[in-house]
Structure 1
Amino acid sequence: MLHRRRGTAAVALAVAAALSLAACGGSNDSADKKPAAGAGDKKAVAQGGDEFADAAKKTAEMGTDAKPGEWPRTVEHAMGETVIESQPKRVVVLDVGELDNVVSLGIKPVGLAPTEGSPELPSYLKKDAGTPANVGTINNLNLEAIAGLKPDLILGSQLRAADKYDELSKIAPTVFSLRPGFTWKENYLLNAAALDKTAAAKAQLAAYDKKVEELDAKLGADKPTVSMVRYLPDGVIRLYANASFIGTILKDAGIPRPKNQDIEDLAAEVSAENIDQADGDYIFTGVYGDAKATDKSRAQSNPLWKNLKAVKEGHAYDVPDETWYLGLGVTAANEVLADLEKYLTK
């Protein structure tokens, strides 16, 4: 089976952008940086500025010119080009975003690499995902298990598994998006192109856009500010910003952010001692993995937390981490929109 690697200018720039972000952590990986003890100011953990917009643009350029039903097809992606000979029937997904993508297109994958913080099949996808075999985790792939499933397509991302791409490509045609997270719409269309499901993916995104417009209209012009707080292991607390999955949804709906989260980065970090920086009209909280392994309890027992406007007014809510932060696909995005409508229109 042919797997051509071509270093086009667009892909080269996209890969360079992804590499510059890799050390900063993806939107759903466990924290890899923590604030200095007692740090008082917000700390950006995923810097990029214009590179984020550039990454999204380059990701959008990837895909295929193949007509519906045309096989073989050549798919250009973050690692080059891959030729897919025929309609894939046995698909392995290497992250939750790819899982959400293929399930939304009516495909039950044969293999899944879940996140370390959520090793089970996400509950919001269980009904339609079938019973994919475990092939390790997003940061520790089991190549032997993947090969044993005899896949005819592997979907993942350059940010997660660039170092495994060559080995994976020897197992089956492999298509990588640039990164998970804020490029979720472009990733969806890339996955759909590899599966000959582009029309269905575009219809799903159009339906999402309609729900966004409806929420925007319901909330009106005077929308409340929304603060996004996520507790991770080892004392890491992130305030999610614009260049994240949830950041794109809030921006789509025209929902304003507190100034310290209205930045073109993945997130800013604060400590439990400075949790007052999480203030907003509404606060939505997620927890990655076991809450006891995080600083959630310590932060929320802090008088600064109890004095936050949203907390005092009863506008601080726990939300499912598996959709708001780990979902990274259109199904999760629709779940988030439903939650936002529920809480913001009470």
Structure 2
Amino acid sequence: MTIRRLPLAALATLSSLSLVLTACSSDDEDASSSAGATASVAGDTGVSVNQASYPVTFTSPWGDSTLEEAPTRIATIGYKDADILASLGEVPVLMGDSTLNQEVWTVDAFAGAEPEKTFTYADDGSIDIEQLAAAEPDLIVASQMDLSDNYDELSKIAPVIAAETEDDISGNWQQTLTSLGEALGKQADAAQVIEDTTQAAATVREEHPEFDGKSISMLNYFGLDTIRYLNAAGTDAAKLMESIGFTTIDGSDGFGSDNISAERLDDTAADVMVILDNSQGQIDDLLSNPTFQAIPAVQEGRVLVIHNKAFDTGESAFTVNDDDEQQKGNLAWALGYPGPLSTQWALETLAPLLKNTVEGTSADDSQ
């Protein structure tokens, strides 16, 4: 039996991710309940010390889930959830093996520890729910997912931290982190992580006034037939760019999760164009496309191409524009699934690249 997710070919699509439960044999009692204290939302922590208090209830559009005692076996099934948990000094009992392979920021935070179990996303993006149940979690973190078809099935295994509102499905790691702080009695730690991440963005914005007011479009490129808009309005990626001074183009929320046809590339025009190249050698098809070339930012050299090596070699590395020197880390992943650790890492890594791009110093590389 499986929980189905978007395939990894859909990396960094920040519209609603959905799980499709095809079968389940769990006979456990439904853990869903409305009793207890509701976990606070991001920005409303209001705590200065860590304090555990149970039961605690986590709300979602699909039901409430109550945690009766401190969890010790937390399973993370979303792409960014291990990152969020690691920011609180915790290691999940179960997570995707792609985290170990691609998220250097999360692995570094584990400080030598490893999860007890990992799972592999299938080619079609499915997750084996039997593996999830076999890990015997006492809390499941499933952020940025539409659980309308299977929230009840997951909550039979363990209480679930999910999106608190439908808007949170498109991205709100702060809400997930705050809920985890409630679950672990680490409210102050969670608030501090949010503050540190906010300050990291503020520092970048202060150091790079050239970003202020510039519009930015980030395209996740797998080939001309598979182009997705990454920083649509309201997504975590859009909020990340806005936090350092960039603006989101009008109408970006209309792109959704659908592929953008080559003929519509001019609709993505912005002052700065960022291409996350996952195409395994097809980048010239985009760079030479007449519609893409007609975008003023492209003509003026304000294009940043980040070549993701994960699909070429399996390495957690990237190269920039025409430079063959590899840099460590999956920057496309960090931008596509930003949590607190990946956000801080991505800001430090991306800021100097964006500076060059805004100044148009990569003109020769992007043509």
- TM-score, normalization: structure 2? 0.66
Alpha-carbon contact 2:224-2:262 (below 8 Å) kept? no
Give the match's secondary structure for 1:99.
helix
Do the aligned residues in 2 keep the contact of 1:324 with 1:336 (CA within 8 Å)? yes
Q: 1:203 to 1:29 in 2, by over 3 A?
A: same
Distance change (3 Å), C-alpha of 1:286 and 1:344? closer
The residue type equivalent to 1:343 in the other structure is L
**Aligned mate of 1:205, from 194, 205, 219:** 194
Report the secondary structure of 2:161's partner residue: strand
Partners of 1:77 and 1:30 in 2: CA distance: 18
Q: Distance in 1 between matches of 2:97 and 2:255?
A: 24
Aligned to 2:79: 96
Query: Deviation string for 1:179-227 (max 9, x for gaps)?
Result: 4443222222122222222211111111122222222223337543212
Pick closer, same or farther for the CA change 1:161–1:219 going to 2, 3 Å.
same
SS of residue matched to 2:248:
coil
- 1:167 pairs with one of 144, 148, 153: 153
Q: Deviations over 1:22-44 (max 9, x none)?
A: xxx9616789xxxxxxxxxxxxx
Q: 1:108 maps to which residue?
A: 91
> What is the Cα deviation at residue 298 of structure 1?
2.7
**Which residues of structure 1 form unaligned runs of 5+?**
1-24, 32-57
- Structure 1: how far apart are the matches of 2:43 and 2:67? 15
The alpha-carbon deviation at position 278 of structure 1 amounts to 3.0
User: Quick one: percent identity of the two aligned structures?
Assistant: 21
How far did residue 144 of structure 1 move?
1.5
Counterparts of 1:342 and 1:301, CA distance in 2:
26
- The 8 Å contact of residues 74 and 81 in structure 1, kept in 2 or not, is answered as no
1:127 counterpart residue number: 108
Q: Residues 28, 241 of structure 1: CA spacing in aligned structure 2 closer, same or farther, 3 A cutoff?
A: closer
Counterparts in 2 of 1:217 and 1:108: CA distance versus 1, 3 Å: same
Alpha-carbon offset, residue 338 of structure 1? 2.1
How many Å separate the matches in 1 of 2:197 and 2:136?
Answer: 34
Provide the rounded CA distance (Å) in 2 between the counterparts of 1:278 and 1:339: 24
1:238 counterpart residue number: 228
Cα separation, 2, equivalents of 1:75 and 1:193 = 9
Among residues 111, 118, 131, which one is paired with 1:145 in the alignment? Answer: 131
Structure 1's 204 and 331: CA in aligned 2 closer, same or farther, altered over 3 A?
A: same
User: Contact between 1:112 and 1:134, CA under 8 Å: does it hold in 2?
Assistant: yes
The structural deviation recorded for 1:233 is 7.1
Matched-pair contact (CA < 8 Å) for 1:63–1:76: no
* 1:100 aligned counterpart, secondary structure: helix
Structure 2: state its 5+ residue gaps: 1-11, 19-38, 307-330, 357-367
Tell me the matched-pair count.
Answer: 289
How far is the alpha carbon of 1:157 from its aligned partner? 3.6
User: What's 1:75 paired with?
Assistant: 57
1:252 match:
243
Report Cα offsets for 1:232-282 as digits up to 9, x if no partner. Answer: 578232233212111111222331233343x58757853123323333222
CA 1:206/1:181 → structure 2, altered by over 3 Å: closer, same or farther? same
Task: State the one-letter code of the partner of 2:220.
Answer: R
**Alignment of structure 1 residues 45-64 onto 2, 5 Å:** 60=41
In 2, distance between residues paired with 1:62 and 1:281? Answer: 31
Partner of 2:218: 228
Distance 1:267 1:59 in 2: 29
Distance of 1:269 and 1:111 partners within structure 2: 32
Does the CA contact (< 8 Å) of 2:73 and 2:137 recur in 1? yes
SS in 1 for 2:275: strand
Report the 3-state secondary structure (helix = DSSP H, G, I; strand = E; otherwise coil) of the residue aligned with 2:304.
strand
Counterpart residue number, 2:208: 219
Cα shift readout 1:29-75 (whole Å, capped 9, x = no counterpart): 789xxxxxxxxxxxxxxxxxxxxxxxxxx993899999944343222
Name the structure 2 match of 1:18: none
Q: Is the 8 A contact 2:214 2:245 kept in 1?
A: no
CA contact (8 A) 1:208 1:330 kept: yes
Q: Single out whichever of 160-169 and 88-97 deviates more from structure 2.
A: 160-169
Indicate how the Cα distance of structure 1 residues 119 and 103 shifts in structure 2: closer, same or farther if over 3 A, else same. closer
Output the CA distance in 2 between the equivalents of 1:74 and 1:102: 18
Query: Which shows bigger deviation, 65-74 or 226-235?
Result: 65-74
> Aligned pair 1:282/2:282, yes or no?
no
Higher helix share: 1
Residue from 271, 276, 279 that aligns with 1:291: 279
C-alpha distance in structure 1 between counterparts of 2:293 and 2:17, whole Å = 27
